Structure 1
Amino acid sequence: MDFLVGSDDEGRSRRGSNTSSGRDSGGRRGRRRKRRRNRGGFLAPMLAIIVLLGGIGAAGFYGYTWVRDVMTPDDYTGQGSGEVVVEIKDGQNASDVAQTLQDQDVVKSVKAFVNAIAEAGKSSSLQPGEYTMRKQMAAAEAVKLLDPDKRLLERVTLKEGLRLVDTLKQLSEKTGKPLREFQQAARNVRELGLPPYAKSRLEGYAFPATYEITPKMSASEILTRMVDRFNQTADKDDLQGKAKALGHTPHEIMTIASIVQAESGTKEDMGKVARVVYNRLDLPMHLRMDSTVMYGLNKYGIESSSKDLESTSRYNTYKFEGLPPGPIANPGDDAIQAALNPTKGDWLYFVTTCPAKGITKFVKLESEFNVIKAEYESNKVNGC
């Protein structure tokens, strides 16, 4: 009994043990299957995300490449070859210049040049003029060649007091253009923009200054620029208003200014020379200016001979009263200012007693004039 009971207990014990073990084993297997299911549930979304991100990344790369290609303008590489002259006109901005460069096949696209000049910080530094460029240049290289210091131009300085014939000769010599082109342009005064009071004569109105002349400029364009410069000076000086206040026309003032320019030894003498002219005009007295006589004879010098004084030219102010028909040279602003603002004084005579040093003396009486004239004659022989 005890054995059986024991056996039964032992059997129950084993069965109970097996049952418990079965439950434990089944539980572990269930948990492992659950973990596998959980891992599978986590990995699947992760794989999907990776695939998705990979697709986005690829799309992003190709999208970036496409945007880059679209946004990056067409441009040549290198410094280009050959030679072409490009003109930047007054008032053109960077986009206008870029279009010109593209039209002449200097740069490949307008956008490339606009970007390059903006990156260089030179969009506002473009200067009108002509430039030597090359075909098919990188835009950045084209920007370098548009430096204002590299413009094709000739600086021509025309001094105050030059006669028109000498002005035209100097322009021809300094620009290489035929003299006849300037002579023809000077005759075609309607194209030059002369003021009405100039009486269709360029003499006196081709303003002396330094000019930047490009190879493409015609003789007419050059002379027009000189007249434009005169008009600017006339406006600045209020030539018409002040001439009226002085009881003269602007043309008469310019004639006086040209005499002042020709007769003055220094800038400081100009106001006094102008005063002598006005004082003589106010009297029944001839101007008696050697400079006007010489102009009428197409001669040069500071002293007229007895034969010169026999000239019947209207520019012979020893023979004809009043002012000559017009300017005898192209005066500068200082002479114009002197004609408009003569120095106060009662002088009627002056003599440049020492031309080498530009010494001029002014007197009122004819007896005093004879003294300073004798001084001049002595200095001619003995020096001063």
Structure 2
Amino acid sequence: MDFLVGADSDDGRSSRRSRAGRGRRRKRRRNKGGFLAPMLAIIILVGGLGGGGYYGYLWLRDVTTPDDYTGQGTGKVVVEIKQGQTASDVGRALEEQGVVKSARAFTDAVASAGKSSSLQPGVYELRKQMSAAAAVELLDPGKQLMDRVTLKEGLRLSDTLTTLAKATGKPVKEFQQAAKDGEALGLPAYARGRLEGYAFPATYDITPKMSAADILTAMVDRFNQTAEKERLVAGAKEMGRTPHEIMVIASIIQAESGKLDDMGKISRVIYNRLKVGQMLEMDSTTFYGLNKYGIAATNADVESTSPYNTYRRKGLPPGPISNPGDHAIQAALNPTEGDWRWFVTTDPERGITKFASTEAEFLKIKAEFEQNQGQQKQGNG
């Protein structure tokens, strides 16, 4: 019975294995067929994409590539990059002016050229409808439109304005008009609204976009910076003078000195004369009042009723007679120690100036000057 039971059990298990085996075989056959169908679908799908993918690429490329012109463009467009503008700001401005086709093309060209940090404020000349890359090339700081003007120390304001007019091509009347508005130019209160003496002599880069007022404002700004650096206000107080008086003294020093080394001594002569109430008797101030130039004032010159005639009026003239540089301002604040009360430029051609503490010494160096002048006239004759 056990045998029969065992047999029955074996037959049952065998039967089940047999059925299971047939099931697995049937399942494998079904899986084989099911695998081919998805593969075929993928192949068909990929094949479809292969045809449309190229056009999709072209569409994507057109979407991601910004509009841009080609070539160097035509005509002229003056463009200004302002302080603080980013490449995107500049790109939008160029697009609005018709220089580049799109701001994005410009920013891409800037990034591609590695010049994001080299866009410098200034005025540049570009062209209409030029490629963004060509525009970036013309925005090099070395290609800025500007006039470089050097204004020498000691120039009178009238000469300064004439020089600026010639350098910029602007009418001198524009500069003269702008010079009248001291408040707009940023003049300090002690300048009393007059630009003479406060248009600081230096080298300036002037762009076509700058107005006459802009240029003069830049010069006043430079003066204000120098005044702060030299401690003009505090230094004037230490000298017992106003800042305006220091600038008057500095302008006389600038006009009278032949060499840098003489400035401190000339400054001391001025202070020594003011201290004892002596007339300054400066030819430079007298000539300024007469609106003329010269080396030595004549008898007719010293009879002038001008308030700048220091042969007839005691003390300082009412205002500066020129635009002094920083060395003259320093000398006005720091006169050389000495008891000189006279000086004579005995040899103007070589800029030789001699100083005297007594009237007898003064007459001696004055005679030397007259002798040199006589010899010069004979040589010229």
Whole-Å Cα distance in 2 between the matches of residues 67 and 344 of structure 1? 82
Distance 1:91 1:38, change over 3 A: closer
Paired residues for 1:52-67 under 5 Å? 52-54=45-47, 64-67=57-60
TM (normalized to structure 1)?
0.85
Which deviations, in whole Å up to 9, do the C-alpha atoms of 1:119-177 show, x marking residues without a partner?
21222222222222111111101001111222221111111111111111111112111
Structure 2 stretches lacking a partner, 5+ long: 1-26
| Aligned twin of 2:16 | none
Distance 1:69 1:316, change over 3 A: same
| Aligned twin of 2:230 | 237
Structure 1 stretches lacking a partner, 5+ long: 1-33
Letter in 2 for 1:173: K
SS in 2 for 1:282: helix
Whole-Å Cα distance in 2 between the matches of residues 188 and 340 of structure 1? 28
- Aligned counterpart for 2:89 among listed residues 81, 88, 96: 96
Whole-Å Cα distance in 1 between the matches of residues 129 and 92 of structure 2? 14
Contact persistence 2:277–2:315 (CA under 8 A): no
**Is the aligned partner of 1:75 residue 2:58?**
no
SS in 1 for 2:329: helix
| Aligned twin of 2:200 | 207
Aligned residues: 352
Deviation at 1:56, TM superposition (A): 5.9
Which deviations, in whole Å up to 9, do the C-alpha atoms of 1:99-120 show, x marking residues without a partner?
1101101111111111111221
Distance 1:57 1:345, change over 3 A: farther
TM (normalized to structure 2)?
0.86
Deviation at 1:54, TM superposition (A): 4.0
Whole-Å Cα distance in 2 between the matches of residues 192 and 307 of structure 1? 38
| Aligned twin of 1:107 | 100
Paired residues for 1:122-137 under 5 Å? 122-137=115-130
Distance 1:234 1:58, change over 3 A: farther
SS in 2 for 1:360: strand
| Aligned twin of 2:266 | 273
- Aligned counterpart for 1:370 among listed residues 363, 366, 369: 363
| Aligned twin of 2:318 | 325
Whole-Å Cα distance in 1 between the matches of residues 271 and 51 of structure 2? 92
Letter in 1 for 2:312: K
Q: Which has the larger radius of gyration?
A: 1
**Is the aligned partner of 1:260 residue 2:253?**
yes
Bigger shift: residues 65-74 or 90-99 = 65-74
Distance 1:231 1:48, change over 3 A: same
SS in 2 for 1:77: coil
| Aligned twin of 2:337 | 344
Which deviations, in whole Å up to 9, do the C-alpha atoms of 1:19-51 show, x marking residues without a partner?
xxxxxxxxxxxxxxx999997666444433433
Letter in 2 for 1:190: E
Bigger shift: residues 234-243 or 326-335 = 234-243
**Is the aligned partner of 1:303 residue 2:292?**
no
Deviation at 1:202, TM superposition (A): 0.8
Whole-Å Cα distance in 2 between the matches of residues 50 and 345 of structure 1? 105
Deviation at 1:262, TM superposition (A): 0.2
Whole-Å Cα distance in 1 between the matches of residues 318 and 51 of structure 2? 88
SS in 2 for 1:130: strand
Letter in 1 for 2:71: G
Which deviations, in whole Å up to 9, do the C-alpha atoms of 1:286-324 show, x marking residues without a partner?
111111111111110121111111111111112111110
**Is the aligned partner of 1:380 residue 2:359?**
no
Which deviations, in whole Å up to 9, do the C-alpha atoms of 1:67-98 show, x marking residues without a partner?
43333222122212222111222332222211
Deviation at 1:206, TM superposition (A): 0.9
Identity among equivalent pairs (%): 68
- Aligned counterpart for 1:164 among listed residues 132, 153, 157: 157
| Aligned twin of 2:7 | none
| Aligned twin of 2:217 | 224
| Aligned twin of 1:16 | none
Letter in 1 for 2:153: E
Whole-Å Cα distance in 2 between the matches of residues 347 and 302 of structure 1? 21
Which deviations, in whole Å up to 9, do the C-alpha atoms of 1:182-207 show, x marking residues without a partner?
11211232321111000011100111
Whole-Å Cα distance in 2 between the matches of residues 67 and 176 of structure 1? 52
| Runs of 4+ more than 6 Å apart | 34-39
SS in 1 for 2:88: helix
**Alpha carbon RMSD of aligned pairs, Å?**
2.4
